[in-house]
Structure 1
Amino acid sequence: MSKRRVREIPVILALFLLAATHACGYYRGNLALNRGDYREGVRLLEQAVAEHPDWANARIDLGRAYLYLGRDVEARAQLASSAALRPSEWRAIYYLAVADILDGQAAKGLARFDASVYPLELFLKKDIMYMTEALISRGLPRQEFLDAARNLLNEAERRQMMREMSSND
């Protein structure tokens, strides 16, 4: 290995550490949410947003965490901020629609999502709306509804990725 390459190693390690530190609170916050520790998730995600206010995904997940805790006003603020930072971020619009649904305004929420502009295929958008309507009709408790909505989004993202990968071939 050349001397030049050896000198680059500390710089590369420092960049890795910086990247890990940058995302640490965000990922730890999501892990807390996934295990049902919403208060810890909020604490860590609030820290991530405070350190990186322009991080749209951190704001979405903080908004989602607030929804789990019934802190709907704060959830809407984070989700609206995320949508403003990245207008093509459809998850923020979907969770705003979910907040409407949880407020008993299902028609408003579904209309919000239907009117949104985002990079999803039309078939997937209609599928998400149909599945969300099915969730609403089941009358699930708040946390079960939020879990089901999150699973719906995870599946939609997976299907979108698969479609994009197959179209690139």
Structure 2
Amino acid sequence: MTWTEAFFVAMMGALVGGGVSLLVQRWRYSVDQWSSRTTEFCAEVTKLADAASEFWLAERKKDDTKLTADVMRVRGGLMRLEALQLPIQTWCLPQDTTLLSTRFGKLADAITGGDFLKPTRKADLNRALEIQGAAADLIGHLHNSRVTASTIRATMARPLHKRLNKWTSDC
């Protein structure tokens, strides 16, 4: 083998190795970003579940002026979660996106159901427990979805799912 052939083989090996390294670094960066967003979302879910549980554990009297502020705080938390959910759904696999939406709906129903806007009511321990259970279910599903979507196989399949969904929606 001449020195030019050996040089060409070495250069091709370096280019292939560099390309693979670049792809792996990009994948690791996206996994780190996904983990960060998941952690942020889970912290918001926990904060909202705690605020909603406090709301339901407090007995409301007829002259309660704090009710409106508490309702707005809980509704604001739900809106914040809806906004944080959008980028997470783009990362999830399609079946996980459906399950995430279902579990988020269960949490929202647990929080705002029943006598949510009623000015007078007794403390509802079961509702507070239901909220914490729905939040735990959502957080557990989200972490499971993060692990599933972080594999190299899922990362490579994600663009194919997006193209397929776009193609089927255009038809």
Report TM bin, short chain: 0.3 to 0.5
TM-score, L = length of structure 2: 0.39
Q: More relative contact order in 1 or in 2 (CA 8 Å, sep 6+)? A: 2
TM-score, L = length of structure 1: 0.40
